Amino acid sequence: MAGAIRQFLSSDHARLDALLRRALERPGDVDLDLYGAFRAGLLRHIALEEKILLPAARAARNGDPLPLARRLRVDHGAITSLLVPSPSHEIAAEIRSILGPHNAAEEDDRGLYDACDALLAGREAEILDRMRAYPDVKVAPYKDGPAVLRTAESALAASARQFARSEPRLPRATGSTAGAALVGSGAPDPLSGGTMNSIPEDLHRRILEGSPDAVLVSDRDGKVRYWNGAATRIFGFAPSEALGFSMDLIVPERLRSRHWAGWETVMKTGVSRYGEGQLLAVPALHKDGRQLSIEFSIQLLKDAAGQVEWVVAVIRDVTERFAREKALRAQLKALEGR
């Protein structure tokens, strides 16, 4: 049976979900009163976790935060940023894309709430009394503009890197010079299951294209099917040079056999050790032949039968940082040898 903390906060999740669903019932329109209640309630829910639950759990662990706490806080930042601009169905879709896996990680068996129920056993009544007494959060007016959108984009990208969830859905690129494109017009969207023509070209594309990190999508055969603007900046290949080609474009030759052996294992088993938000640091190739140092995380997107259909990689260029660290290690070694 679920503990008291899990029951209380899971019930609040359900209440907020119902408010958002009702606010969006009319296609193309948002009920501002219902959305306002959802917005205020969600901000208060986040405050209950940030101000009461997570600090209490940390204290119970002698100052050591729960392993999941940092990831959830990154999501809280992304959600809060998306609550700043005026509401729309597109923004609500992005909020839901975070809340789905976020809430599951909290509510599921052995999730955050179960961990807190166990850690705070005997103190549940005290914790719940504090939560019930917590005041409503003061909600600022909506604010729009480029700076607000950039903040939301950055926070959403951070959430995508650090928490296993679907990336924002990819729109069909238009024009031959687009920074990102998918092969074929009206092709199935690997990240949503719909068709590219059915997805509005607004927030989600701008988030992916404005991301400072490369976002790559490959099919089961390891062929590149999505390549954003940051991928071009980091690796040097234009979309027309990468789409439809093997990942060998960016994998150093000496590592290819190991790369593809691991790839085949993942395709057969549907499991990757790097599919839970862990970062993998590896060498990579630039178009001009020079070696890069990159860090990346992946997500496996599966079809209805549970077979891996798409692999999403979020990649950061850390070449300069690795060079600085290498130089520092050399300096320290030299000092130790004196």
- Give mean pLDDT, residues 112-141: 94
User: What pLDDT does 58 receive?
Assistant: 93
How many whole angstroms separate alpha carbon 24 and alpha carbon 20?
6
User: What pLDDT does 182 receive?
Assistant: 39
Band the pLDDT of 28: cuts 50, 70, 90. Answer: confident
- Residues 296, 317 contacting (CB under 8 angstroms): no
**β-sheet bridge partners, residue 297:** 314
Q: Enumerate the domain spans of the chain.
A: 4-162, 196-324
- Residues 209, 172 contacting (CB under 8 angstroms): no
CA proximity to 199, closest of 100, 304, 94: 94
User: What pLDDT does 195 receive?
Assistant: 45
User: What pLDDT does 327 receive?
Assistant: 80
User: What pLDDT does 155 receive?
Assistant: 65
- Residues 204, 90 contacting (CB under 8 angstroms): yes
Does domain 196-324 correspond to CATH entry 3.40.50.300? no
Q: In what order do the strands lie in the sheet with 308-317?
A: 224-227, 214-219, 308-317, 291-302, 280-285
Give me the percent of the chain exceeding a pLDDT of 70: 82
The residue to which tokens 């719940």 are assigned: 128
User: What pLDDT does 199 receive?
Assistant: 45
User: What pLDDT does 124 receive?
Assistant: 93
In order of 65, 141, 153, the CA distances from 46 in angstroms are 17, 18, 20
- Residues 296, 279 contacting (CB under 8 angstroms): yes
pTM, 2 dp: 0.51
Selected residue with higher pLDDT from 279 and 297: 297
* CA 313 and chain centroid, separation: 11
